[in-house]
Structure 1
Amino acid sequence: MLEGAINLPPFRERWPWRGPHLQTVRNTLSRPRFRLAAGERLRFPMADGSGDVLLGLLNRPGRPVAGRPLAVLIHGLTGCETGSYMQATAVALLAAGWPVLRLNLRGAGPSRDLCRLRYHAGRTRDIREVLAQLPPALTADGVVMAGYSLGGNALLKLLGEGDLPVPVRAAASISAPIDLRRSSLAFLEPRNRLYHRWLLARMKEESLAPGPGLEPRWIDAIRRSRSVWDFDDLFVAPWNGWSGAEEYYRVNSAAGFLETIRVPTLVIHALDDPWIPGDCYRAVAWERNPSLHPLLPAGGGHVGFHAPGGVWHDRCLTAFFGRHAG
């Protein structure tokens, strides 16, 4: 068992956060606070002629450990550097002596005013450009990477594509929608009605926020969307050159890139995740790629894993990184 290999017990829920839904919404309900220094702002101009600039926030550990690579964290849909899961992982890694860069994807968080284009589930070129622009002093020992939800899908796709500009020594995905089509359809299930309404509202708010303007036809498409599928079909896919949601999902789902990953990669997903069907993970022939290390507990919700003593996936990825790159 992987739990034994990284010397960690199986996931156990922390009271009162019992069940997939409370695990999923815990951070929204409790609003945890984190002690993080202000950090150093890094800028990453994109080379596609858009003029867009991505932003990252670098924190250095108070007690650095020699030889430990830079950890790059990639947020999920409607997230950014200030997301609770991003901050929680940063705190855990910094305490263990890792420098941490929390990356804002194109148009997310503080990069909103600096970007005309937007991130999506498969925009891996942006991440590759960020890695290439990192100061050599930060990448002298390589990097490790973690991605959450949509950011996890993008990370797995990036690793499967290869052609990495710096050595990636280990990686971890948490609650990634590796089958984008099935994940989008899952939001239409009755049990996900409240999640769906909440997420779609945040997606619209993010896309229509002040900043470089959209053409009226795209604004209209966003406003007409009545589901996540509609949003991707009417806006995300055609705006990025695909015929619709079906093609966008097919081209960018990480499931199609798993077999070609050659970086030691921890894949964490709760089989009770209300957003992403566990069957997407059960269908993968994990044994065909020894670089992949699936960790699929029965519980944990979506980017939840709130356990006695802290966030379980943070302990898992910290141990995994230490084993492969520490």
Structure 2
Amino acid sequence: MSQIFSPPWWAKNPHIQTILPVLTKVDRPVLQRERLELADGDFIDLDWQGTPEAKQPILVIIHGLEGSAESHYARRILAASKASGLCAVVHHHRSCSGELNRLPRGYHSGDTEDLHCTLQHLKSHFPNNPLLAVGYSLGGNVLIKYQGEQQELSLIDKAVAISAPLQLGSCANRLEKGFSKVYQCYLIKQLQQKMHGKVAKPELSTLMPINKHDIDSLTTFYAFDDKVTAPLHGFDGVDDYYNRASGMPYLSRITKPILVIHAKDDPFMTEAVIPAREQLSQQVQYELHENGGHVGFIDGGSPWRPRYYLEKRILNFLISLEKSPC
């Protein structure tokens, strides 16, 4: 069913839609951390809200680049999940839970293996509980790619992807232009800080593809992905990474229900992320809105207490809201 999102007059600017939610986070949820040890000797952290009852769905939340359970969108969906009686767990990408991961490698936009490990872990402990998922930005791209790769074997029954950068190369190019450079600078500084942390570790420094003196020169995503992301994760340069990790080709292969939401005015993206009808499988429901910014979608309230479209739409798509509390 097609939905209509309409921003208030004061939130039609895409940068207001993108920035204001960061400045108006909801209260921090009470979460229980679980550390998942990986086969390669590394770890990822899962943050739980509630304990699922028998056969109760579990919502898996997949955050975006340099996000976490602390991200504004994660806090809001956690609050909405709690209010609706839905148990939820945040899947943290490596190094995003507040502690550097142990290996030189980190995470990237096409990293579906770690997500699969989390899902297998959940299924092993809760085999009769349906798994639902929502992915934001980079996490949305990972989710789409995973669903397209796994098809009927996917452990996720139903999913939602928000503001996914489905063509990574065009998105990297967009972030080098105009006001969008502000977002790039903010995120690159966080990535650089983590790289400095890794090269400072004697056991990792000689394994890194870059030394501490060159990290700060990587001021664009294209440069960072070429010198760091690609070599650390087995890609033959940045273009190979962007081609192989982009989610767009996987939309046609998805065999389980998924809702994909984009905004035309998203300052992280270009029209290249908007799929044509023939690129979508019958299980993909696509919503393209004129406004919304990047993971914004403020639909009312006031600048001091904005109200949002996303949480209502996500939960209405994934599951009935009439659930008993965890």
Fold match by TM threshold 0.5 = yes
Are the counterparts in 2 of residues 55 and 111 from structure 1 also a CA contact under 8 Å? no
Cα 1:217/1:280, change in 2 over 3 Å: closer
- Residue of structure 2 in register with 1:188 after alignment: 176
- Residue of structure 2 in register with 1:274 after alignment: 267
- Residue of structure 2 in register with 1:311 after alignment: 308
- Give the unaligned 5+ runs of structure 2: 302-306
Equivalent pairs: percent with the same residue? 27
Q: What is the letter of the counterpart of residue 130 of structure 2?
A: G
Shift of 1:209: 3.2
Shift of 1:27: 2.3
Match 2:241 to one of 228, 233, 248:
248
Cα 1:79/1:141, change in 2 over 3 Å: same
Q: What is the letter of the counterpart of residue 57 of structure 1?
A: D
- Residue of structure 2 in register with 1:7 after alignment: none
- Greater shift, 186-195 or 144-153, is seen at 186-195
Cα 1:130/1:66, change in 2 over 3 Å: closer
Shift of 1:14: 3.7
1:53-202 to structure 2, matched below 5 A, reads 53-60=43-50, 67-114=55-102, 116-134=104-122, 136-162=124-150, 167-202=155-190
Are the counterparts in 1 of residues 58 and 129 from structure 2 also a CA contact under 8 Å? yes
Does 2:37 match 1:45?
yes
Are the counterparts in 1 of residues 209 and 231 from structure 2 also a CA contact under 8 Å? no
- Residue of structure 1 in register with 2:281 after alignment: 289
Match 1:18 to one of 12, 19, 24:
12
Are the counterparts in 1 of residues 61 and 134 from structure 2 also a CA contact under 8 Å? yes
SS at match of 1:178: coil
Q: CA RMSD in A?
A: 2.5
Cα 1:26/1:91, change in 2 over 3 Å: same
Does 2:272 match 1:265?
no
Cα 1:260/1:192, change in 2 over 3 Å: same
- What is the count of residue pairs matched by the alignment? 313
- Residue of structure 2 in register with 1:322 after alignment: 319
Does 2:211 match 1:219?
yes
- Residue of structure 2 in register with 1:27 after alignment: 21
Are the counterparts in 2 of residues 52 and 117 from structure 1 also a CA contact under 8 Å? no
Are the counterparts in 1 of residues 135 and 161 from structure 2 also a CA contact under 8 Å? yes
Are the counterparts in 2 of residues 187 and 195 from structure 1 also a CA contact under 8 Å? yes
- Residue of structure 2 in register with 1:208 after alignment: 196
CA distance in 2, matches of 1:250, 1:325: 42
TM-score, normalisation: structure 2: 0.87
Per-residue CA distance 1:29-71 (angstroms, 9 max, x = gap): x23232522x2211211113xx10100111017xx88754100
- Give the unaligned 5+ runs of structure 1: 4-9
Q: What is the letter of the counterpart of residue 297 of structure 1?
A: H
Q: What is the letter of the counterpart of residue 98 of structure 2?
A: P
SS at match of 1:54: strand
Q: What is the letter of the counterpart of residue 91 of structure 1?
A: A
Are the counterparts in 1 of residues 209 and 227 from structure 2 also a CA contact under 8 Å? no
Q: What is the letter of the counterpart of residue 59 of structure 1?
A: Q
Q: What is the letter of the counterpart of residue 137 of structure 2?
A: S
Are the counterparts in 2 of residues 261 and 291 from structure 1 also a CA contact under 8 Å? yes
Cα 1:298/1:65, change in 2 over 3 Å: farther
Cα 1:166/1:206, change in 2 over 3 Å: same
TM-score, normalisation: structure 1: 0.87
Shift of 1:308: 1.7
SS at match of 1:134: helix
Shift of 1:264: 0.3
Q: What is the letter of the counterpart of residue 36 of structure 2?
A: F
SS at match of 1:157: helix
CA distance in 1, matches of 2:300, 2:55: 30
Are the counterparts in 2 of residues 131 and 166 from structure 1 also a CA contact under 8 Å? no
Q: What is the letter of the counterpart of residue 315 of structure 2?
A: T
Match 1:229 to one of 218, 222, 228:
222
